[in-house]
Homo-oligomer: A and B are copies of this chain.
Amino acid sequence: MASSIHDLARHLNISIGTVSRALNGRADVNADTRQRVLEAAKQLNYAPNQSGRSLRQGATHSIAFMMQPHPGDLEYGEPFFIPFLTGLQAGFAERGLDLIVAMGAPGDYQQERLRRVVETRRADAVVLAWTRREDERIDYLTERGFPFATLGRSRSGSTSYPSLDLDFEKAGSEAVDRLVARGHRRIAAIRPSLDLNFGHLFLAGYRKALRRHGIEVDPALIADGFINEAGGYQVTPRVMPAEDRPTAIIFNNDAMALGGCKALAEMGIRPGHDIAVIVIVDTPLCRYFSPALTAFRPSLEPMGRRLAEMLLASLPAFAGPEGPRIIREVWPLELIARESD
């Protein structure tokens, strides 16, 4: 059915070795021969069998992005996703690598899927997202010596891997600054209950800024819940006591913000009127919500592209002449002022 390198060689009356060398651009092949091989390859539309190549070279020429829908994403759709992936794939494609996104079932935290990818050598490296403070995936990969990069930092695995993260601490801090400048003193914070690292960073920034402004941190104004709309809906009322209510809320996640706003509305509290709302990571939903939510926006597509570069720079096979190096970056979030604060 599909043509192999043997067909090509037979068709040209030369050996498969020469065909392979011609195709791979090696120097020791006559210019004429190379030309003939390339033409014949196009004509028979031959492309080397990936399994054969991988087996021989010990490299799959593909990078796996471990993607794990959270429970609730089925209704939500995770709009964060496509722009980042588009950049990531572009960054790898430039170096001839395929991006494969490896999915698991929602909620099972990838460990099993990750092991499969690594142990069956389906990819040459992996990209992790949703990093946790203590992340067993990172521990596993470092222990196994398998190359990877992360979107987000972690305390696991020291700092011996490339990582690209957003400055959630600064964003949390800036959100407080902005609210305080507008006269707010009682500011609530809502974040995911998982060990997700950005939740910790955000809260650190929030706390620091409050102290800087001489405002005492009130534990009653901090809550966490499931990282989805239902989580926000469920947990928001907890930071809205009957008396001495907060006048502002910062949500660490867009889905939680939407659920939270629903809860507020049901309590008769109008976001943007009776209470100020700021969201840390902007998505299209923040823009279309009513009132449009003030939010901090990441530049996802460039981030994807950059993380691909960073991972490749750490791999001996792809690093430049100066050798592999570990790059770690923290990117800013840009405040998009809208109507909700």
Query: Which A residues are within 8 Å of any B CB, using their own CB?
Result: 1-2, 45-52, 54-55, 60, 69, 73-83, 85-86, 89-90, 93, 98-106, 115-116, 119-122, 145, 258, 283-285, 288-290, 300-301
The minimal Cβ–Cβ distance linking A309 to chain B, given in whole angstroms, is 16
The answer to whether A51 touches B48, judged by C-beta atoms less than 8 angstroms apart, is: no
Residues of B within 8 A of A283 (CB): 77
The answer to whether B78 touches A82, judged by C-beta atoms less than 8 angstroms apart, is: yes
- A301 touching B74 in the complex, CB below 8 Å, given contacts A100-B102, A121-B51: yes
The minimal Cβ–Cβ distance linking A148 to chain B, given in whole angstroms, is 15
The CA of A255 and the CA of B65, in the complex, are separated in Å by 27
The residue from B55, B74, B116 contacting A86, defined by CB atoms under 8 A apart: B74
The answer to whether A77 touches B79, judged by C-beta atoms less than 8 angstroms apart, is: yes
Most buried by B among A47, A60, A99, A103: A103
The answer to whether B106 touches A86, judged by C-beta atoms less than 8 angstroms apart, is: yes
15 A-B pairs whose Cβ atoms sit less than 8 Å apart in the complex: A1-B145, A48-B120, A50-B120, A74-B86, A75-B284, A76-B79, A77-B79, A77-B80, A77-B283, A86-B103, A89-B103, A98-B102, A99-B103, A285-B288, A290-B290
Residues of B within 8 A of A79 (CB): 76-79
The residue from B46, B86, B101, B119 contacting A100, defined by CB atoms under 8 A apart: B101
The answer to whether A77 touches B288, judged by C-beta atoms less than 8 angstroms apart, is: no
The residue from B73, B82, B145, B289 contacting A288, defined by CB atoms under 8 A apart: B289
Residues of B within 8 A of A145 (CB): 1
Residues of B within 8 A of A258 (CB): 288
The minimal Cβ–Cβ distance linking A24 to chain B, given in whole angstroms, is 14
The CA of A105 and the CA of B93, in the complex, are separated in Å by 9
Residues of B within 8 A of A120 (CB): 47-50
Residues of B within 8 A of A76 (CB): 79, 82, 284
Q: A47-B116, A47-B119, A285-B285 are in contact. List 18 more A-B contacts (CB 8 A).
A: A2-B119, A48-B120, A74-B86, A74-B300, A75-B83, A75-B284, A76-B284, A77-B78, A77-B82, A79-B79, A81-B82, A85-B103, A86-B106, A93-B104, A98-B102, A99-B103, A101-B101, A288-B289
The answer to whether B82 touches A45, judged by C-beta atoms less than 8 angstroms apart, is: no
The CA of A48 and the CA of B119, in the complex, are separated in Å by 8
Residues of B within 8 A of A78 (CB): 77, 79, 81-82
